[in-house]
Amino acid sequence: MTAPKVVVLGGGPAGDVAALRAAQLGAEVVLVERRDLGGTCLNRGCVPSKALLAISALANKIQRADEFGLVVQGLSFDFPKMQARKDQIVLKMRSGVEAACKRHQIKVVREQGHLEQGAVVAGDAAYPYDHLVVCVGTEPSGLPGIDMDNPRVITSDGVWTLAEIPKRLLIIGGGVIGCEFASLFAPLGSQVTVVEMLPQLLAGVDRRTAQQFQKLLEGHGVKVYLETKAEELAYRDDSVVATLTGGAVVEAETLLVAVGRSPQTSGIGLQEAGVQVSQRGHVEVDEYLRTADPRIWAAGDCIGGLQLAHLASAEAARAVENALDPVRMRPMDRTVVPNCIFTSPEIATVGLHADLAREAGHEVRIGQARFVGEAKALAEGEPEGYVQLVADAKDDRLLGATIMGPHAVELIHEVGVAISDGFTMAELGDVIHAHPTVSEVVMDAAQQGHGAAPYLS
């Protein structure tokens, strides 16, 4: 029996997984990627940012060394060396992806690909397919009225090639990307200003968490303007000067535009092949990740929704499994998807936060506990933040959680598993957690929701 031919267009966290999963299932696989394997996440997003954020977090701790009884003098920063360390981590991860593709005998084509007459044309060759998986991802969006070609203006892609730490950094956009970079550069000595046109930072989290995070961010010296725009920009040889709504003037060596990302779906023949693309450029798929053409599937950021590498990978695996085993197709379930924000402190959510649960018509039960009462968090010098659990008051089933504080992006998975397994808040509170650990705050929050937390109720 001839192996099915699968072509994957795009080699990011969706495309890489699509190709590897297809090879595991016995397909003959071609992976077309115009840049480096690993896509934005590995090369220009998740991985390099976490490498630099780890350094920034260490710097923040060292700056507070006196609190721990440590004497540290003369802290300084070698930014080129930080960038070099980041590059080494990226290279190691990318080499792992390349090795996996080689191990699974995936043909990797390093060219721009486009659809043409039932094949993907890349370079001088055409690759016909039984199934095509479109995983072309997104790219940073610019803003009308801003000279995006000015050397003082960068997007998130430009951070990785900065030669020095900006003394003054103006960030337009207070979403996840903007807030993560504010958390990155403030401990490195940058005077950071964040300008956001919406009424709160981090629009995807509940208002209480956004407000408390803003206070903590401002405590690190970051200036935040909400419901504000850069009305006028002046470009100088050594700076950009922004006049904001209300008349405030901000001058910065670097202007970082962090207003979201746009799908890379235009000009590659999708619509000509019968694939429907939304007005915003997203590939339209059904619940099985199938496009209007039954041989073409899509996954990851290019289909819209939450732009998360782990969700993209899960979607890609599901798309391939559905394509190669149509008898047992499964819809994509996005009920439990952890959303992690690597700010300082970290913020993580899963399921519905309290505001969304109420909007969905649930009578809500809240369980919450603060890290300030937990010994391990105090010992680590990170007492800020809390765990908030949300359950349906009628049957106590967990609906979601928000965690802001130490190791939040790791702790959230416990609640995700509990939601997936149908736990009630009371059942989560019955799970014995080790002491002292930061994770026991999850248990405390669940018990507090039922008035059973010994120290909180």
Hey, which residues are catalytic here?
435
Q: In angstroms, how far is CA 122 from the centroid of its own chain?
A: 30
Q: For the purposes of burial, counting CB atoms within 10 Å of the CB of 74, is it exposed (0-12), middle (13-18) or buried (19 or more)? A: exposed
Q: How far is CA 88 from CA 59, 85, 162, 386, in A?
A: 20, 5, 16, 35
Percent composition of the chain: helix, strand, coil (DSSP 3-state, to 5) = 35, 25, 40
Taking alpha carbons only, the member of 156, 165, 212 closest to residue 192 is: 165
Q: Write the CB contacts of 400 (distance below 8 Å, at least 6 apart in sequence).
A: 349, 350, 351, 352, 353, 356, 357, 389, 390, 415, 419
Polymer length in residues for the chain: 457
Taking a C-beta distance cutoff of 8 angstroms, is the pair 173, 311 a contact? Answer: no
Distance CA 153, CA 161 (A): 13
Q: Write the CB contacts of 136 (distance below 8 Å, at least 6 apart in sequence).
A: 9, 10, 263, 264, 265, 268, 300, 302
Q: Write the CB contacts of 359 (distance below 8 Å, at least 6 apart in sequence).
A: none
Q: How far is CA 265 from CA 53, 86, 114, 137, 303, in A?
A: 31, 29, 10, 8, 10
Taking alpha carbons only, the member of 259, 260, 239 closest to residue 194 is: 259
Taking a C-beta distance cutoff of 8 angstroms, is the pair 403, 392 a contact? Answer: no
Which pair of tokens denotes residue 297? 């599937």
Which pair of tokens denotes residue 356? 């969304």
The residue with tokens 């699974």 is: 104
Q: How many Cβ atoms from other residues are within 10 Å of residue 191's Cβ?
A: 18
For residue 288, give the 3-state DSSP assignment: coil
For residue 259, give the 3-state DSSP assignment: coil
Q: How many Cβ atoms from other residues are within 10 Å of residue 320's Cβ?
A: 28
